[in-house]
Amino acid sequence: MTTLDPALASEQYGYLTTTGRTSGEPREIEIWFALEGSVVYVMSGGRDQSHWVRNLLAEPRVSMRIGETTFTAVARLVEAETDEDALVRRLLLAKYAPGHEGDLSEWGRRSLPVAIEVELVG
């Protein structure tokens, strides 16, 4: 398992590329993230109806770019009501709520957490 540079955690956005489940083409989104060792955590406000979540359910191999670092990874849904689920929500709210104008508590409760486990940093 590859560990990411902890300094990447200070970046504001990550760029997740999934493979389109119908087209087979790469699909990149800009997304909020939190970093914990070799795992990048993100959350989907649209839950499993978001296209990017539907894409990674069909093909879990993804790539992620944070700052100048791009890596391949395997994405998976985080199991509900587990310690990891609570960790994801806590990390993302701690990172983004202080600088956000609106209240993120509903987003923090309802969003679908996703773990992106690093394979290879390139």
Helix (H) or strand (E) holding 8: none
Is the pTM above the cut of 0.75?
yes
Model confidence at 53, pLDDT cuts 50, 70, 90, reads very high
* Domain boundaries 6-121, CATH class: mainly beta
Does 100 score more than 90 pLDDT? Answer: no
- Cα(55)–Cα(116) distance, rounded to whole angstroms? 14
Does 16 score more than 60 pLDDT? Answer: yes
* pLDDT tens column, 35-45: 998 899 999 99
Helix (H) or strand (E) holding 93: helix 83-96
Domain ranges within the chain, ordered by starting residue? 6-121
Q: What is the pLDDT of residue 102?
A: 79
| Residue listed under structure tokens 């990390």 | 91
Q: What is the pLDDT of residue 122?
A: 56
Q: What is the pLDDT of residue 120?
A: 63
Q: Is 76 helix (H, G, I), strand (E, B) or coil?
A: strand
